Chain A
């Protein structure tokens, strides 16, 4: 147990050292890149708040903890850079995101060999060869640049790695405990019921007693990945992992493939030649059922994405109340109102964090259960899905 504390302290120390180093680095050579904008870049107006929130909801290429404006009216960003890895026309390129100097408006051009990159709205573009500056078309899209395949360690990837590490360390320690004792102690005592919950409340009733075992690694991994990611999103680190549409689509796609590859004859028969209905209905049902294959995982990805994005949006907007309502309520009043409302919504968000992990895992196992079921479970499954939606709606 003591070594665990040591480990935590060690990681915290590294993190702090890294952040401090970067902050000093900023002081050193970044200063001349700081754009002198009105009001020192403070987020004060509604438009600024809106763009700040939108920026937060997107993935970012550096780990940004907080920003402040110093006495010299310069905007300072505290955090640390993350590695950028892009596949450009000149092959793979690696560099640290600090080269962009927190720019997100295509102001800073980074030259790496033959390729020149810039960042616009959290996306990295490659400037076409020969161009010296970015030009825009009517929709404010760059006209002389193209997006690159960007597999950088972005903030979300970093978060995912952190979550993966947390889950791995936690459950590895739980797994180790079973070698010496049959009832875990310490953190394991909390983790074991969670594993049992996923097994007995999610997987077993939906997939069936005989077949659930094969899918347990996926369901457990996804459940804890989503849950811990959601919870991490509520910390001041400002992760928004499960609010990235790419992440939720990837998760949903996994469920989709698992469902299709584990599906038995019954499942396909119900799609292409529904038993016990007239022939005409069979033909009508084919496209509907085919569409259903895709709408199920699609609902998964949209549900998780929308819930988490909305949660983050609401929490940040409520925090911003202390600025937007300052004129009406005064500094103390608006701050108090903001704190109370944010606290209230945050508590709900903690619940939503669990609920969304539960719903995703639950519906995944339900879809898997429908695919591997020996008999017709469609009606039963339908009502359960409705129930879950009802429960969700009641909470959100």
Chain B
């Protein structure tokens, strides 16, 4: 087979025409719409992926801020609880102190009152004793005035005995 002899200029010519027509027709009616649709779709997918990524980031950010807020709230609660406990203890302590003070005061005043009562009672008794002594002395005097010294000694003796 001779290649050059096999070469058919007519076939070459027809092929060139068919190829040009095909390229033009396919380019206009097939390749252009197909390629543009493909790249459009790819861009769509890419932007959708990007949007999803952004949404994910946003979610993570929100979650982080939520977590922080919760942490804050927890800390605040703990703080408040601690404060409350302190106040309670303080109050209990205060109340106890006040009660002690009051009790002390009451006891002190009671003691004072007892003391003064005792003093008053003693003074009363002393005056009664003096009255009694005087009575006794009167009676004794009426009966035995002669024995004055013995009488006085007796009075002292009796007073000493009567001294409480």
Chain A interface residues toward B at CB < 8 A: 54, 57-59, 86, 123, 149-154, 156-157, 160-161, 164, 167-168, 171-172, 174-175, 178-179, 182-183, 192, 195-196, 199, 213, 216-218, 220-222, 225, 244-247, 249-251, 253-254
Contact = CB atoms under 8 A, between A and B. Distances in A.
A160 B19 CA distance: 9
Given A123-B8, A167-B30, A247-B15, 15 more contacts: A58-B6, A149-B10, A154-B8, A157-B15, A168-B22, A179-B33, A182-B37, A216-B31, A221-B23, A221-B26, A222-B19, A225-B22, A245-B3, A246-B8, A246-B15
A171 B18 CA distance: 17
B38 interface: yes
B14 A157 contact: yes
B44 to A, nearest CB: 7
A182 B35 CA distance: 12
B26 A220 contact: yes
A357 to B, nearest CB: 14
Given A245-B7, A246-B9, A168 B30 contact: yes
A19 B51 CA distance: 60
Contacts of B91: none
The dominant DSSP class at the B interface is helix
A244 B3 CA distance: 10
Contacts, number: 121
Given A58-B6, A59-B11, A174 B30 contact: yes
Contact of A57 (B1, B15, B16, B21): B1
A150 B34 contact: no
Q: Determine which residue in B10, B23, B41, B44 has the highest number of CB atoms from chain A within 10 A of its CB, and name it.
A: B10
Contacts of B61: none
Nearest to A121: B5
B97 interface: no
Interface residues on B, range: 20 to 34
Contacts of A246: 6-9, 11-12, 15
13 contacts: A149-B9, A157-B18, A167-B26, A168-B30, A171-B26, A192-B38, A217-B32, A221-B23, A225-B19, A245-B3, A245-B6, A246-B9, A246-B15
Contacts of B11: 59, 150, 154, 156-157, 244, 246-247
- 9 shortest A-B CB distances, which residue pairs? A178-B37, A217-B27, A171-B30, A150-B10, A246-B11, A175-B33, A246-B12, A151-B10, A250-B15
A244 B8 contact: yes
A161 B37 CA distance: 27
Nearest to B36: A178
Q: Determine which residue in B16, B22, B29 has the highest number of CB atoms from chain A within 10 A of its CB, and name it.
A: B22
